[in-house]
Amino acid sequence: MKRYQIDENGFFGRYGGAYVPEILYKCVTDLQRAYLPILESEDFRQEYRALLKDYVGRPSPLYPARRMSEKYRCRLFLKREDLNHTGAHKINNTVGQILMAKRMGKTRIIAETGAGQHGVATATVCALMGMRCEIFMGKTDVERQHTNVERMRMLGAEVHPVTTGNMTLSDACSQAIRDWCCHPRDTFYIVGSTMGPHPYPDIVARLQSIISEELKWQLQEKTGRDWPDYIIACVGGGSNAAGSIWHYLDDKRVKICLAEAGGQGIETDRTAATMHCGSEGIIHGARTLVMQTDDGQIKEAFTISAGLDYPGIGPMHAHLAELGRTRILAVNDDEAIAAGYELTRLEGIIPAIESAHALAALKKLSFRPDDIVVLTVSGRGDKDIQTYLNRKDMAGEYGDF
């Protein structure tokens, strides 16, 4: 396991670390010292597990998808994170981090959000715990994702539109870090993916690892063995993927295929495929792969999927891909839309467009009929209906309605 996990300095191989301004140094080192003892304490585990069960609705089902299995000639199982409270895997992480914030005596919560999913999951647990909540969101995203903004406000959060840069997720992250610099004592920053300075990538991966923990006993129950031949997931920052593969990293029988957002194509400038197009750099406190210009300016990411719209990638994934432990596929907007329509019509499940990227990967792989394939449906598509309808041209045989 060690080979794939974080070392004592907070690095996954060459990637990771904590590149933060001086003023956050104490905050970050306090968290580095505190997080493992908290996560491993009996008291935390009990409260976390109870909330996952009774509030989030876990375990999430592992659904044998019959018609999709026929189509792709394998035994396909869908891990249904879309059925969680608030509609995605993000809540697994925010429930854990708010319990951590409470134990560290923090009274104010901040978070960044792109599509608004992490903002909603954070505002939700703040309402649950009666904590003050402020969310940073690019102004472009505030306009694009209006319902999620209304949800956050209804939950009692204050939403700050960010007007720097391209006014999207990357700028919201920068603004959240600036706010944290101004309030290091009372504020806990709930990071939404396996990104940011050490220890965040490790915290988020551990909190999401409940996904693969459940997979083990669910597969045992349904197939008679506790491992699949393939795990497929989408990657933005990498949290649902990290959680889906965590307990299988050392098991070489399990092939891991991750789908990043190709946007309009990795050969164009309009892409978010960081692992195909990025180079080593520092973004939001971590050394990792970044999409940047030759002189080191961070480039804007482009994809139809707001949740994958990030010019960096979690350091853990940069490392795993470099070691060849994971295979990274780029999935373009059109392919994702088509895959989303297909799942909708073959199984009656409308996936988030992020998750549709993982589904599109099925077409790029070839299976044996007895292969057990687990695909994580990271979220539901309610937020994306308009985007799907605008691209009915990609629905093929399913677009005639």
Ligand X SMILES: *Cc1c(COP(=O)(O)O)cnc(C)c1O
The answer to whether 90 is a known catalytic residue is yes
Tokens at 315, concatenated: 């350091």
Nearer to ligand X, 125 or 308 (CB): 308
Figure out which of the listed residues 58, 90, 151, 198 binds ligand X, where binding follows CB under 6 A: 90
Figure out which of the listed residues 16, 96, 196, 238 binds ligand X, where binding follows CB under 6 A: 238
Q: Does 119 bind ligand X (CB under 6 A)?
A: no
Binding part of the chain for ligand X, among 43-51, 128-136, 332-340, 349-357 by CB under 6 A, reads: 349-357
Using CB under 6 A as the binding rule, the residues of this chain from 16 to 55 that contact ligand X are none
Q: CB under 8 Å, gap of 24 or more: what pairs does 176-181 form?
A: 176/110, 176/111, 176/112, 176/136, 177/20, 177/21, 177/24, 177/284, 177/285, 179/110, 179/134, 179/136, 180/24, 180/27, 180/110, 181/21, 181/23, 181/24
Q: Does 354 bind ligand X (CB under 6 A)?
A: yes
Nearer to ligand X, 272 or 372 (CB): 272
Nearer to ligand X, 75 or 135 (CB): 135
Q: What SS3 state is found at 280?
A: strand
What DSSP letter does each residue of 119-152 carry, written as one string? HHHHHHHHHHHT-EEEEEEEHHHHHHTHHHHHHH
Q: CA–CA separation, 391 vs 305, rounded Å?
A: 13
Q: Where do runs of H (alpha helix) occur along 25-89?
A: 25-40, 42-51, 66-72
Q: Does 378 bind ligand X (CB under 6 A)?
A: yes
| Least distance between ligand X and beta carbon 317 (Å) | 9
| Least distance between ligand X and beta carbon 199 (Å) | 16
Binding part of the chain for ligand X, among 157-165, 171-179, 348-356, 389-397 by CB under 6 A, reads: 348-356
Q: Does 381 bind ligand X (CB under 6 A)?
A: no
Nearer to ligand X, 273 or 352 (CB): 352
Q: Given 60, 239, 378, 383, which residue is catalytic?
A: 378
Q: CA–CA separation, 49 vs 209, rounded Å?
A: 12
Q: CA–CA separation, 206 vs 202, rounded Å?
A: 6
Q: CA–CA separation, 61 vs 80, rounded Å?
A: 6
The answer to whether 280 is a known catalytic residue is no
Cβ(109)–Cβ(134) under 8 Å? Answer: yes
**Any residues with CB less than 8 A from the CB of 380 and at least 6 apart, and which?**
82, 83, 87, 88, 349, 350, 351, 352
Nearer to ligand X, 30 or 382 (CB): 382
Binding part of the chain for ligand X, among 228-236, 271-279, 287-295, 296-304 by CB under 6 A, reads: 228-236
Binding part of the chain for ligand X, among 6-14, 125-133, 232-240, 329-337 by CB under 6 A, reads: 232-240
Tokens at 386, concatenated: 């308009």
Binding part of the chain for ligand X, among 61-69, 103-111, 283-291, 352-360 by CB under 6 A, reads: 352-360
Q: Does 340 bind ligand X (CB under 6 A)?
A: no
Q: Given 60, 69, 81, 112, which residue is catalytic?
A: 112
Residues that bind ligand X (CB under 6 A): 88, 90, 117, 193, 234-241, 307-308, 352, 354-355, 378-379
Catalytic amino acids? 90, 112, 378
